[in-house]
Chains A and B, each alone.
Chain A
Amino acid sequence: MNGMDRHLRDLLEAAVGEPPRRVTAEAVRRRVIRRRIAEAVAAAVTVAAIVVAIPVGIGALGRAHRPPNGGPAAVGIVTSRHYGYTEALPAGWRLARQAAQRWNGQGSPGDGDPVVDLFRGPRGVEAWASATPTKASLAAYTVAVIRASHANHPCPVRPQTNQTITISGVPARLLGMQCAPGSGFLVEIAVTVHHGTAFVFGSQNPFKFGSQNPRKADRAAFRNFLDGIRLPR
């Protein structure tokens, strides 16, 4: 320190004077405790806000997934691990299992295949879903699905019904067929192509035509299921 620094220091010394109050360790401790209490209160308020916000958010999400045609509200949201769509489960539906692996696009996977997400609905109705990349149009892919169903299952060459519907606002085809024709199960398959991916949603009524005809309510259950689908953006 040079002479000038010393003079400066003396001036600073002269200017400072003595502190009017002492700072004690006890005062510091009290301050720390006050701060911790304030932090704990803030954390508790944050947690309370989150606890309130989560059910409200889930409720809002459920309302967002309410089918546009005024169908039943969702009882849960399922996001497909492999295929990316979400399903707002209508009342009576639940996820039975997620697909164990992705579908390679070959064949016509049904409810027992590990490549499908499987859902169970009211009165034993089942639905399953799979998806695969495609460059085909909806019409071409629908033809491929019909052929594959015929080749892999006892389904007819031509479905009994072939309707235009929408899934998540995207044009789709809904096929209805008895497998095997004239008896067997009612199988409905909904097909759509979205952003280069073909989504196939199948449903099977548990009752054989020969024993007990499928009810309108069972068809409606699958429509409700399809209404809950949201395709990935």
Chain B
Amino acid sequence: MDAEGEGFAQFVEARQRALQRTAWLLTGDWALAEDLVQTALARSWPRWERIRRRDDPEIYVRRAMVHSWASWRRRRWWGERATEAVPDSPAIGDMAAEVAVCVTVQRALRSLTARQRAVLVLRVFDDLSEAQVAQVLDCATGTVKATLARAVARLREDPRLAGLMDRETQ
């Protein structure tokens, strides 16, 4: 394997978990998340050396990921829809609590627009700076701030998520 291929392999090895977790928050499905990460990496690999020289590879791959996800959402076959009633999963004990958190978060994320969700995930979960989020989404920093504020306000309207957040605060 050449140096370029080696560098790419190292990046994938080091970042695939974080990328998949971000992708899951965007898609809400592990199979789609894996597909999304592979798609973004497949787009990046042929120009990896250029990306590595000119850009932050992490930002580039995340941008490819968000753009791919946005384009998937525009396709008709994209079946995800916001729903009021989320089916309960059978669970007991602590696992039940984990599932409840997972389901509540998923439902809350689905209530956001695509851009709100992307901003929230990149800024809050991935801890990117506002400037980096703006770079990923090709928008102004002010747009990132405003979108994030609207996203958080929207999440606060979800009584179950607000309850979980209050519980975390206590």
Residues of A within 8 A of B (CB): 1, 3-5, 7-25, 27-29, 31-32, 35
Contact = CB atoms under 8 A, between A and B. Distances in A.
B19 interface: yes
B168 A35 contact: no
A95 to B, nearest CB: 48
Contacts of A13: 125
B4 to A, nearest CB: 11
A18 B8 CA distance: 22
Range, interface on chain B? 35 or more
Contact of A8 (B8, B19, B41, B152): B152
B14 to A, nearest CB: 11
B105 A12 contact: yes
Interface in B14-44: 16-17, 19-21, 24-25, 30, 33-34, 37-39, 41-42
- By secondary structure, the B interface counts as helix
Contact of A10 (B38, B41, B168): B168
Given A11-B161, A11-B165, A29-B45, A23 B20 contact: yes
A32 B125 CA distance: 29
Nearest to B156: A4
B125 A12 contact: yes
A101 to B, nearest CB: 51
Contact of A19 (B5, B17, B123, B169): B17
Nearest to B20: A19
B102 interface: yes
B127 interface: yes
